[in-house]
Structure 1
Amino acid sequence: MAVTDEAILTIKQMILSGELRPGDRLPPEKELSERLRLSRNSMREAVKALEAMKILDVRRGDGTYVTSLEPELLNEAMSFILEAQQDHEAILEIFAVRRILEPAASALAATRLEESDLEALRRSVDSITADSDVEEVVSHDLAFHAAIAAGSGNRYLASLLDSLSGRTVRARLWRGLTEEHATERTLREHGAIVDALAARDAALAEALTVSHIAGIEGWLRRWSEPESSD
């Protein structure tokens, strides 16, 4: 398990054990990272993810506090970390299949999408900003890829990609929570793909989709590897 994930689970255990109670302020970052023998960068990423899950409340200039989340809800919110780790190899295989099939769908869509479809894709990209919450970004991501697959004109390919995409939702959520600038990167790459589709450049749309899927696949591989401490 990656060090950032270990930090998250350690803080979770401190809350569940009662060591940290609702409303309690966390020790300073330096003190907590030294106590848990983690790099400050790993600790910072863990706090950021727990803040996004509404488990911690970061008050600028004041400190970081535990919210009033009940232990049962905390367990539910955190369970997907271990589940995703257990399914790591299967998810990697799914991304590998997506990397093969989705570029072909993009190439087909470049010649078949209607102007109204392209406009809808642009509106979808424009509806998300760097400040959008991770659930909104993942919802956009799923719809974006589904629209391109449908635009390929091949119902079987679109159906297959839809079934594969649904298996990767947890990984997408976790990337959005833990990878710095993940939203900006996703929007930049989606925008470039739409530009290629609008130009009716099948080869470019295919290449950009390969790069996009491979980037997510690469993150997933790095996520599962232990981090070195600073």
Structure 2
Amino acid sequence: MSTLARTSAATEAVAAPLRSQTDVVVHGIKEMITTGRLAAGSRLPIEKDLADELGVSRSSLREGVRALALMGVLETRQGDGTYVTSLDASLLLAPMGFVVDLQTPADSAHLQAVRRVLETESAALAAQHFDVAAVEAATAVLASVEPLLDHPDEADHDTIMEADIAFHRIIAHASGNPALEALIESLASRTIRGRMWRAISVEGAVRSTHREHLAILSALALHDSERARLRMATHLLEVEDYIVTHPIAGAGSSARDAQ
């Protein structure tokens, strides 16, 4: 090998980041899935054979499998082996909720902005598919809080927020896009603190939000995608503007926020 070739090879070796054995396992199994060798629901080869194939120790293989299980890619069944999950978007995107939980209060407005972008398009898509069952489900959710709108107490606010999440969840599901639905789910319940604070501290906010929900539902029932998009955007901008001007509203977390 010439001096130039040796120098080039050495430079590449230094520049290339060293992968841990766990990374090798994660990458190897991911490649098996993406190339079609392993499909959703497939059982992984026995531990010894898979470790030999990937060129790693069995302990490293177990670490990699655990990492992929946390990602929702694999599941270990006691006494039965390790399987590829359904690879459903809700499983694979679930860790997004953990990322959201780690954001600082200063990032609350950014999260709400992302939620607005996603839910605005979700509403437009949902309008194309919003059937009678979806209309009835959304109508029932909104009707359930009507007796609480004028003078809600603390317990009523919890009920109202649960209904709020349920209403938006119906729309996300009706979008027909599981990945979009999963992303919205990871943000919606974790941005509830700002919405709750606005409902408690702003006079008439609960009634105003209810009117906005009814307007969104009307557009969805009419299958009017553009109107649904605009109604949802206006609705979520109200919350976003409040969080921007009241950053304390997005601070902290609670057990309910993580549900």
**Equivalent residue for 1:145, pick from 155, 168, 175:** 168
Q: Counterpart of 1:218? A: 241
Rounded to whole Å, the distance in 2 between the matches of 1:217 and 1:136 is 21
**Of the two structures, which has the highest relative contact order with CA contacts closer than 8 Å and spacing of 6 or more?**
1
**Equivalent residue for 2:157, pick from 110, 131, 134:** 134
**Equivalent residue for 1:193, pick from 192, 196, 216:** 216
Rounded to whole Å, the distance in 1 between the matches of 2:180 and 2:161 is 21
* Contact kept in structure 1, 2:106 and 2:247, CA below 8 Å: no
Per-residue CA deviation, residues 47-76 of structure 1 (Å, 9 max, x unaligned), is xxxxxxxxxxxxxxxxxxxxxxxxxxxxxx
Is residue 2:85 matched to residue 1:88?
Answer: no
Long gaps (5+) in structure 2: 1-102, 249-259
AA matched with 2:178: R
Per-residue CA deviation, residues 6-60 of structure 1 (Å, 9 max, x unaligned), is xxxxxxxxxxxxxxxxxxxxxxxxxxxxxxxxxxxxxxxxxxxxxxxxxxxxxxx
Moved over 3 A (4+): none
Tell which structure's C-alpha radius of gyration is larger: 2
Is residue 2:136 matched to residue 1:119?
Answer: yes
Is residue 2:183 matched to residue 1:160?
Answer: yes
Long gaps (5+) in structure 1: 1-85, 226-230
* Contact kept in structure 1, 2:127 and 2:228, CA below 8 Å: yes
* Contact kept in structure 2, 1:91 and 1:167, CA below 8 Å: no
Q: Counterpart of 1:107? A: 124
Rounded to whole Å, the distance in 2 between the matches of 1:109 and 1:89 is 31
Is residue 2:95 matched to residue 1:97?
Answer: no
Q: What's the RMSD between the two structures over aligned residues? A: 1.8
Q: CA deviation at 1:211?
A: 0.4
TM-score norm. by structure 1 comes to 0.58
Q: CA deviation at 1:218?
A: 0.6
Q: CA deviation at 1:88?
A: 3.0
Q: CA deviation at 1:171?
A: 1.6
% identity of equivalent residues? 35
TM-score norm. by structure 2 comes to 0.52
* Contact kept in structure 2, 1:134 and 1:176, CA below 8 Å: yes
